Each structure stands twice: as structure tokens, then as C-alpha cells.
Structure 1
């Protein structure tokens, strides 16, 4: 429940921040009459994400066991790629987000009669990107977890992000994007490492990967999966009490590369140097 909540909180907050920046800029520049175009873009993006998620879930339910393992491996690898890209993209873009969006809005309204479609398209693309990222992540998590905890956590994350976005739009929320996305980005990389190891395990069960399958260690007596702590570790970090060598190499190798890049000193851009706090 914790992982879907935190991921959907971050994903939803990214979308809510984008919509909030656009909405507040329209209000500040006397263009509030164009807000229906914003909501049309949000509705179309949410509809697309739901349809894609439902379609993939229905298709995967018809697969035999081996094909389901293949599907789980592919979705898991896609989720890892999407989450990794999301972390590093938002780390670079967070500080200049307002400037970039308001500049794009000015360009859209400078196009005359086509600015309505440009505004809808801009909101649609921004929100759809977050929605499709969420779809691949949730599919991967739902396939590796059971019960209603994961869907409930995802729903709570979305609701909290909507509330935070509304508070941001009304001007009552001050959020340091640099610190927020740095902390959540680090957590997401740890989650993605667990997904990567789980995808390697699914590849083996599907018959795609049979190298280095010897069990490296066994912690079943120390921290079994049926204990509360074991369940939390499994849900958050993809913990397995008896991982294979390939799973451990995948987990540690992913973290070694991504954390080295994540903690590498980032040169501030001229736009990001202007503001650490988005109002």
C-alpha cells in the first residue's frame, strides 16, 4: 500500500502542479474563460490512461501461465524504464517548470484562433504522460502484489495529490520542488531496483533467462515473507528471502548506476537558478 501511495502521490502531484501552474497563470492574465479547455485536456488524458490500463489488464488476464510471466517481465521492465526516466527528467525540469509552461502558454495564445486546441493539447500531453507512466507502474505492482492494499494506496495517493494541487492553485501551498523531488526520486530508485529484480525473476519463470539461478543466500528463517516486516520489505523494495545470483546482480547493478548518476553534482541551469520554491 505504501509504494503505490507514494508513487501516485508523486505522479499525481506532478500532473497537479502542471495543471495548477496553467490554471493560476490563466487567472492572473485575465484568461480564466479558457479554463474549460484545461479540464477537457485533463479529462481526455485521464480517459486515455484508464483505457490503456484496463485494456492491458484485460489482455493479460487471458494469457496462459507462461505468457503471463512474460507479460509481467515486460511490464516490469517498462515500469523500471519509465520510473528511472521520470526521476531524472523531473530532477532537471522541476526548477524551470513554471517558466517553461508560462512561455508555452504565451506561445499558444499568440497563435490566434488555434490557441484553444493548443491549450487542450498542451494539458493533454502533460497529464497523459503522467497517467501512462502510472499505468505501467501500477500494472507491475499489481502483478507482484495481492489484495486490495495496492489499489487503495494508489487511490489515496491520487486523492492527496489532487488536494495538494488545489491548495497550490489557491495559493496556500508553498512547495520546495528541489527537495521534494530529490527525496521521492531516491525512494523511487529503490523501488525500481526491486521491480528490476522481480522482472529478472519473471523472465526466468517464463523461460527467457536461465543464467546465474543459484540461490545466493536464504533469509527465510530470519525474515520470512509472511511476517509483517517481510511483507513491507517485499512490497516496498521487492525483497525476496532466497534470491538468485542474477536477481541480486540486477538489484545492486541498477542501484550502483542510477545512484551514481542521481548524486552526481548537477550544474544549475539559468532557469532553475531563479527559484527553488514554486508558489
Structure 2
């Protein structure tokens, strides 16, 4: 499958699986106004990395592969942290049945920041690819195919994210909606965290053996739509290191244990049952 389409698809999916559930929670609790700042954050992040890449390209020194790996790794860890924070905000509101995460200003800030970081995970590499597609469309031997591939891939990712958004909003009752959305974000966060650790490991920030613990590339190649989808949504790698696999499985365990713990009931001052 065309590499430019897969690039656009991966970019759209990696941001969409983070933004769609977070906005679904906001919509379910009446905070529709969050859509505008999220769109502004997404656009500003794209513009920032495009400008930064252009500035670096015009300078005397370009960032090394190690520098790009460290940048992507750090952004991934920050994004995973924000996703986890948002998950517990969702859980907090669901336990109190006041749907606090959507009415607290903190949740709005988390959504905007997580949206920006999810778009920026590709960083300079993503910006460089897009600028190359634009140059191919405007150069002497102009070809619109690379740019069309990127746009079509991004559009497909956006459509999938919209389908996820509307699908989540159909979940009833509210308890299942909030729990299901939080679990989904936990799985996505595990993938983002594991990819960040992997980038930092290959940049020699973290130690550990870089030899893959298994290799299923022939079964799930990255140059296919399903390979791209798995990598972009849950952090799948056909040839992961031992540290990457360990992190992916250990990250969600404490989060899911807290999310799925039974809700305890106490007694309010007036004698009526209330959740702690």
C-alpha cells in the first residue's frame, strides 16, 4: 500500500484514538465548547513543528537521529502521563456520579494538552514528511500523488476517530460508558508509553538489550493498513524489545485494577447512601 497514505493514516489514528474518547466524555457531560480549543491546539501543534522543521532545515545543523528519538520519546511519555491523568479524572467523576471530569476546569486542560501532544508525537519526522509531500506537489516535476496520499490517509484516520466518538456516545448506561472509555484510554496510553520507552531505548537513554524478543513482521508488516493501524492505536510492534513488552504489560495493570475496583458506598450526613 502507498507509503504516503499509510503515513497519513497512522498520523490520523494515533491522534484520533486519544482525542475521540476524551471528547466523548466531554460531550456526554455537556462540555461541547471543548471542541474549539482542541482544534486550535491540534492546528497550532502541526504549525509549530512545520515551522520548526523549516528553521532547522535552513540552518547549518540538522537534528540527529538520536535527538529526534529523544524528542519523540519524551513527548510520548508526557502524552501517556496526561492520558493516565485524564483516565483517573474520568474515573473520579464516574464514582461520584457527578461526572466531575467534564465540569472541572482541570479536565478541559487535560483534553487540550493531550490532543496537542498526541498530534506532536510524530514531531519533526512527521513535519518533514508533510513538507516533502508539499514540495513534490509544487516542484518542477510536480506530482500531487504524495500529497493526495497524505490527505487521504489523514481523512481516513479522522473518519475512524469520528466513528469511535459516536460509537462511544451510544454506550448505555453511563456507568458502562465511563468505565469503557477509561479502559480504552488505558490501553491506548500503554501503547504510547511503550513506544516512548522504545524510542528512548534506541536513543541510548535507557539501557537494555535491543534484540527483539520476537519477530512477526512477515505476519504483520508495517507497510499494510492493519500493521499501521495496530502500531498507531495500541503501540503494537512486530519486533519489540524485552523492555518495550514489559512496559506495555506492566503499565495498564495498576491503572485497570484501580478502575475496575468495586465502588464503595458510605452514608451521607443526612443518612442517605452516598458514594465515597
Quick one: which of 97, 100, 107 aligns to 2:99? Answer: 97
Q: Does 1:153 align with 2:134?
A: no
Secondary structure, in 3 states, of the residue corresponding to 2:121?
helix
The correspondence of residues 105-144 of structure 1 with structure 2, limited to 5 A, is: 127-140=108-121
Question: How far apart are residue 259 of structure 1 and its match?
Answer: 2.3
Could you report, residue by residue, the CA deviation over 1:167-195 in whole angstroms, capped at 9, with x for unpaired residues?
Answer: x9xxxx99633211211222222221111
How far apart are 1:85 and its partner, in Å?
A: 1.4
TM-score by length of 2: 0.64
Q: For the Cα contact (< 8 Å) 1:14–1:130, is it kept in 2?
A: no
Q: Over the residues paired in the alignment, what is the CA RMSD in angstroms?
A: 4.0
Counterpart for residue 184 of structure 2: 187
Matches within 5 A, 1:1-279: 1-2=12-13, 4-20=15-31, 45-46=37-38, 49-50=41-42, 53-54=45-46, 56-58=48-50, 61=53, 62=56, 64=63, 65-94=65-94, 95-97=97-99, 101=103, 127-140=108-121, 147-148=150-151, 149-150=153-154, 153-154=157-158, 157=161, 176-267=173-264
TM-score, normalization: structure 1?
Answer: 0.63
Shift in CA distance, 274/267, structure 1 to aligned 2, threshold 3 Å: closer
* Shift, 1:15, TM fit: 3.1
Equivalent pairs, count? 226
Find the aligned partners of 1:99 and 1:204 in 2 and give their Cα distance: 34
Higher normalized helix content (fraction of residues): 1
Q: Which runs of 5+ in 1 are unaligned?
A: 22-38, 105-121
For residue 201 of structure 1, give the secondary structure of its aligned residue in structure 2.
helix
How far apart are residue 72 of structure 1 and its match? 0.5
Give 1:76 shift: 0.3
Q: Distance in 1 between matches of 2:48 and 2:120?
A: 8
> 2:266 & 2:234 partners in 1: Cα distance?
33
Give yes or no for contact 2:49–2:123 (8 Å, CA) kept in 1. no
Distance 2:267 2:116 in 1: 34
CA change 1:262–1:159 in 2 (3 A) is: closer
Native 8 Å contact 1:234 1:240 kept in 2: yes
Cα deviation, residue 97, structure 1: 2.5
